[in-house]
Structure 1
Amino acid sequence: MTQVLCVAGARPNFMKIAPVMAALAEAGIAAQLLHTGQHYDAAMSDSFFADLGIPRPDHHLEVGSGSHAVQTAEVMKRFEPVLESVQPQAVLVVGDVNSTIACALVAAKRGVRVIHVEAGLRSYDRSMPEEINRVLTDQISDLLFTTERSALANLQREGIDPARVEFVGNVMIDTLYRNLEHAVPSVRTLGATLAQYAVLTLHRPSNVDDAPTLAALLDVVGEINRTLPVVMPLHPRTRGNIERFGFTAKLDGLHILPPVGYLEMLGLMRDAKLVLTDSGGIQEETTALGVPCLTLRENTERPITLDEGTNTLVGPHPEAIRRAFAEILAGGGKAGRIPEYWDGRAAMRIAYKLKDWLPMPKGVHALSDTRIV
């Protein structure tokens, strides 16, 4: 009997599901893995599964690309017969991508318990599709695992019973610690030795779909590159818009890479003097690595990286970016510290909670007092 059907669909999910699958196996919990195929680059998807030691999916929906509505609907349509066939005790979803809300909705409507890993994170920006996914997934989840203590207050403001919530730490950091010694040295990824460099990742629609915003960001990055070489793994969406807007010349002088695998990216971040990003997960990874991070967004759903970590919120504003960059050059940037329970054991805390919780009838949320520290 399958106790837990675990769902992954896009690149951010893979780093979160890897330690969870390993911990469930170690705890003796029967689990199956479903890949929705939301991340439709088969080669990159396969590389992440290989790098992270994720078992081959038991089910693959092969959904592919589409608008948010089309993709969410297609996941729901293809997921339902799998759920009916497997009949798990619970469905476990991670993060905030379309696959997360789609599979959670199907499970909840069919009376199957939903477990949400990385619950309670809020940017309070409803223009972000991920924020809608987070809020709705948390509302229909039976058990919510959080990465930071402040997430509980977010959930309580939305009327969620604290008995459904358990603070376990950050599974993304489990994956980082587990793979750090296997990270590909930056010199191998770059094919050259750079004494110091910055890493840039850029993919959010608010930054790359608007021509003036993208132009301003590329211009200020070009300025930074004259002082500190900038390495940019180029997201396909970003590359397409750069070409469409006629901005290709703005990449001159930057160290442009194709999309890289997890171990290559981990090595690039570990060895960097600075990371500039609009990614949520990279804000967490740089905090764990102790590398200064400038987040090119107006807000973040990961405030702990600002309050305790190495992250600084600068938005897509050239002057703020210049000022923060100058401060890093002058003083090295925020030192930060490792947040509570970002210790590589979050997935095991999840697994041991589930051993106590899964036999309970649906609707009973009381958790064991066992603490895995």
Structure 2
Amino acid sequence: MDVNKSRPKVLIVDDAPENIHVLLKALKQDYAVIAATSGEKALEVAFSDIPPQIILLDIIMPGIDGYEVCRRLKNSPKTADIPIIFVTALEDAVDETKGLSLGAIDYITKPFNPNIVRARVGNHLQLVEAMRIKDDVDRMMRHDLKNPLSVVITNPCIIKLSKEIGEIECSMLDDIELAGYTMLNMINSSLDLFKIEKGSYRPELISFNIIEKLQLIDRQLSPLAEAMDIKIKFSLDENKLNKSSFCYVIGVELLFYAAISNLTKNALEASPEGAEVRIAIKSSEVCELEIHNKGMVPEQLQNNFFDKYVTSGKEGGTGLGTYSAKLFIEAMGGSINMNTSENTGTSVVVKIPMDRCSNKESTNNASGL
């Protein structure tokens, strides 16, 4: 049995054999260590069928230097996640900053301290493994959750076909079905969020009527609004929405629904009891959607309102609502910003591209032309 197959693979890249020898001696007991004496050879090993789990990379080398090797590895989806530690005699902060800006995770300076080398490599490999396990568990949970949800979504439709079901029962089944679709959308949007964060998401942009999505959000959040004695008011170009209202945009339906649902829920939770949340749409060159509530964002959160895990005063809050909304809107080619004050409350403004052709057709159909 080859014990190296069960040990993490470490690639050492240095044109000086004596440096390779020192690092090899420090790491060979715990890792499967391979060496490359040039940037060209390092790239060949990294792009092989069995890439290294971590790379210790010298900066100053003839031919392709360490900075260029790092840049090429980070620009390729196949090798972008491999952690890179620069090993160098350079101590200038500018050199360190340049390396980190290219995607390196750490620096080890020469001459090497074997204990520090082992500790740095071990710590970074543990972090990578922890993230891999977390991602695997997340993906399995999302996949496994979809199977029972199919029963929650489809069975109410089947039961409602029975003539023995009354109006109250039908309403309850509608609520179950809506809850199932809401959970399914949450699972699907979390998968998209994962892809966006990894840089692998490719949006399939289509034309859709956002009024239909807002009506679904209103139905979904009505119980929360009623419990807080808050009214959600919608308007399109200063007119009240009705069943024939339309505003077509170019985007991704699921991402739009998830983003606006999160932002509206956030506005409800931040509103004073008995107030109202306004969702105003303006259709011009772009679709501008403003979500306003009368609460003010705490001063300590105003500068990082859209950052990950930022939350305040909400029991059980994850701090992912506004963060995911920003990523979703920007993934569709839109923009999002927030302004807040004690006098005016808080407004989150979302802008996404309009579909002028569909809006023109709908106008003609509505007017009977």
Q: Does the pair score TM above 0.5?
A: no
TM-score normalized by the length of structure 1: 0.27
More strand by share: 2
TM-score normalized by the length of structure 2: 0.27
